[in-house]
Structure 1
Amino acid sequence: MPHIAVPAPVPGIRGLMAAKPASGRRLSELAEQLLRAASPLSVAERELIAAYVSHLNGTPYCTGSHTAAAAHAFGGDYALVQAVQRDPATAPVSERMRALLTIAGKVRGNAREVTEQDVAVARAAGADDEAVHDTVLIAAAFCMFNRYVDGLAAITPQDPETYDGIGATLVADGYLPQSRPASV
């Protein structure tokens, strides 16, 4: 049960954003920009970063939603997303993605631990400055989103099918409220 009154029993961040629509709109716009706008990272890769950071932060709602979104964006490959969450060093991802996940993991913990060497490894694996930038910004933003959801005890469904539906909708429709049904 959320720590604040929400207008309707909508799960996760959507329920919380409904309590403050103006800031909710801005947060939705930020998510849309980070995860859907032009980037050298695919939607699937950006969702994977969001899922990984949310997993590291232990935020069940965001982990479930973005794990499903990443899996749907990767053509239904839940095993890939779960392998990254277990251990990005052994997951079946490109060296570029592995290097970017290392950076994202450091941003999630103590961002000052990201080193020039981490960035050099990402560049050597094919990441450009924009990919590094987008990785850091997605990781930082998802730390904020995770803390928002956890700090206000957002409604967190237990049924994995709920998250599968949320993920499918996010991939199909994006993050702006008018483009999605209110129940998701």
Structure 2
Amino acid sequence: MAHIDLDDGIPGLPSLLRFRPETAGALSALAETLLRGPSPLARGERELIAAYVSTLNDCRFCAGSHSACAAAQLEGGMSLVEQVHADPDAAPISDKLKALLRIAAAVQRSGKDVTAEHIAAARAAGATDVEIHDTVLIAAAFCMYNRYVDGLGTSVPPDPRAYAQMAERLVAHGYGSAAPGPDPR
């Protein structure tokens, strides 16, 4: 049960966007920019970073929804996403993405945990400054989104298959579609 008067029938972030429409536009625009806007990182890779950080933060709603979005956009689907969550260094992803996920994990602990060694390893694996920047910003933003969703005790879908339906809508229409309005389910 949510800590404030939310519609528990609408899980996670969408319930908060509907509760406080004054902040919904900015939060949705940030997610749209980070996960779907111009970037040298593919959309699926950016969703994977968001899902990985959300998993590290134990945010069930964000981990579920962004894992489904990553799976829908990456070759290897949910099996690949689950391998990354279990052990990114053993997962069949590029060395560059492994290095970026290490940076994301450091950000999840504390921004000050990102070291020169993390950056050097990412650059040695082919990461550009923009990719490093985008990784840090996605990780930092998802720490905020995760704490927002969990800090107010939002609900999670009773059926885990709902995440695939959310992902289908988000992949097709973007994060602006998560703003207040008719129930997207």
Identity %: 49
Letter of the structure 2 residue corresponding to residue 173 of structure 1: H
Task: Give the corresponding residue for 1:129.
Answer: 129
3-state DSSP of counterpart to 2:161:
helix
Q: CA RMSD in A?
A: 1.7
Task: Give the corresponding residue for 1:36.
Answer: 36
3-state DSSP of counterpart to 1:46:
helix
CA shift, 1:177, in A, is: 2.9
3-state DSSP of counterpart to 2:89:
coil
Task: Give the corresponding residue for 1:183.
Answer: 184
> Aligned pairs, how many?
184
1:140-177 deviation digits (Å, cap 9, x = unpaired): 00000000000001121131211111112111111003
> Do the aligned partners of residues 12 and 131 (structure 1) sit closer, same or farther apart at CA in structure 2, a change above 3 Å counting?
same
Residue pair 1:25, 1:177 contacting (<8 A) in 2 also:
no
Whole-angstrom distance in 1 between the partners of 2:174 and 2:140: 20
Residue pair 2:2, 2:8 contacting (<8 A) in 1 also:
no
- Whether 2:78 is the aligned partner of 1:89: answer no
Residue pair 2:32, 2:175 contacting (<8 A) in 1 also:
yes
Whole-angstrom distance in 2 between the partners of 1:77 and 1:148: 27
3-state DSSP of counterpart to 1:106:
helix
Whole-angstrom distance in 2 between the partners of 1:100 and 1:181: 37
CA shift, 1:116, in A, is: 1.1
Residue pair 1:44, 1:74 contacting (<8 A) in 2 also:
yes
> Do the aligned partners of residues 75 and 134 (structure 1) sit closer, same or farther apart at CA in structure 2, a change above 3 Å counting?
same
CA shift, 1:9, in A, is: 2.8
Whole-angstrom distance in 2 between the partners of 1:85 and 1:181: 33
Unaligned residue ranges in structure 1 (runs of 5+): none
CA shift, 1:181, in A, is: 6.2
Whole-angstrom distance in 2 between the partners of 1:33 and 1:152: 24
Task: Give the corresponding residue for 2:98.
Answer: 98
Whole-angstrom distance in 1 between the partners of 2:76 and 2:173: 16
If the length of structure 2 is used for normalisation, what is the TM-score? 0.94
Unaligned residue ranges in structure 2 (runs of 5+): none
3-state DSSP of counterpart to 2:168:
helix
Task: Give the corresponding residue for 1:78.
Answer: 78
If the length of structure 1 is used for normalisation, what is the TM-score? 0.95
